[in-house]
């Protein structure tokens, strides 16, 4: 099985002490987002956990201690660095600081186990097509030697986004094509493998691969192993990723990104963060008397 630490919140950035404590004690509990009184317990044992997948916008808080996990477990790290500034991502380090951390992280886990995420891509009066291509070019020139591939996707226009980002300029088919063509040419110039995930559009004509950000193929290549066949249904339309088990919680990320799908509103994340106990097996709060705990179904999918 695959443990996912970053799909619901930026765990390594804000909850690294808790995460390391869970691996030290050898288990973790996760609430069902739809049925909050149902809790799944996962054993953090290399015999059944094939890989621990991280996704973060800032690995600095865990960087010096990440070996506590990598010494025992396979890992794969997604590092999200975008063109946006504090107006969009108020609590995220700036581009150059993020790149410096990515370089250091790559030195610890290896290029094969690193992917750069440049997503979501959207337009405003500030973040124009030209701005995206200029910034992507600069970042690709710095990051390419330290990652195995780059993933990008266009913003998903869910209902909440219109409330928090009225400045968004809707992407047209032409806009997407121009962006994809430009990014594809930039990636080719630097020898960077560029791929989409979570999108229905196909841009192979621009040298962009159609794949999931976490598939049995790219994960197997990164870890030097072979996975058994399994469905790649993903979690949303256009997603081609293999199944993972997320141990985080929604409405807990303090990055404050205006486009975030995992937070209903920033104030809720701040309130939930106050309930965090690094010693609890749950990310937020504690196990109560009405909670139902079940053992997660865990088995290795590596041959």
Report the DSSP pairing between strands 194-196 and 114-121: unpaired
Nearest to 275 by CA among 247, 249, 245, 293: 249
For 228-279, how does the pLDDT look when each residue is reduced to its tens digit (9 = 90+)? 887 666 555 656 678 899 999 999 999 999 999 889 888 999 999 999 999 9
User: What does the block give as tokens for 100?
Assistant: 């410096």
Whole-Å CA distances, 74 to 3, 197, 225? 10, 23, 11
Mean per-residue pLDDT, 204-223: 90
CA separation, residue 1 to residues 49, 80, 156 (Å): 5, 23, 28
- pLDDT of 159-184, one tens digit each? 778 888 999 999 999 999 999 999 99
Closest-CA residue to 152 (of 186, 127, 117, 102): 117
Inter-residue contact 150 to 195 (CB < 8 Å)? yes
């Amino acid at each position: 099985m695959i443990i996912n630490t970053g799909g619901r919140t930026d765990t390594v950035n804000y909850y690294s002490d808790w995460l390391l404590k869970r691996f030290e004690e050898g288990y973790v509990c996760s609430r069902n987002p739809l049925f909050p009184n149902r809790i799944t317990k996962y054993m953090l044992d290399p015999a059944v956990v094939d890989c621990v997948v991280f996704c973060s916008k800032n690995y600095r808080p865990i960087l010096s201690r990440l070996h506590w996990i990598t010494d025992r477990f396979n890992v794969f790290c997604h590092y999200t660095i975008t063109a946006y500034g504090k107006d969009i991502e108020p609590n995220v380090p700036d581009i150059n600081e993020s790149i410096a951390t990515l370089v250091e992280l790559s030195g610890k886990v290896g290029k094969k186990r690193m992917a750069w995420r440049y997503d979501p891509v959207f337009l405003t009066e500030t973040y124009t097509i030209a701005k995206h291509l200029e910034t992507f070019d600069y970042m690709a020139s710095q990051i390419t030697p330290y990652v195995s591939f780059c993933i990008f996707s266009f913003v998903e226009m869910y209902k909440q986004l219109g409330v928090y980002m009225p400045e968004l300029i809707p992407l047209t088919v032409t806009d997407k094509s121009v962006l994809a063509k430009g990014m594809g040419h930039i990636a080719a110039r630097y020898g960077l493998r560029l791929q989409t995930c979570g999108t229905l559009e196909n841009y192979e004509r621009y040298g962009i691969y159609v794949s999931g950000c976490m598939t049995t193929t790219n994960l197997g290549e990164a870890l030097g192993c072979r996975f058994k066949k399994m469905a790649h249904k993903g979690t949303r339309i256009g997603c081609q990723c293999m199944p993972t088990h997320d141990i985080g919680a929604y409405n807990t990320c303090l990055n404050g990104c205006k486009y975030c799908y995992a937070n209903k509103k920033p104030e809720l994340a701040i309130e939930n963060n106050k309930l965090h106990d690094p010693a609890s097996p749950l990310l937020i709060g504690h196990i109560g008397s009405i909670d139902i705990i079940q053992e997660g179904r865990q088995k290795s999918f590596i041959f």
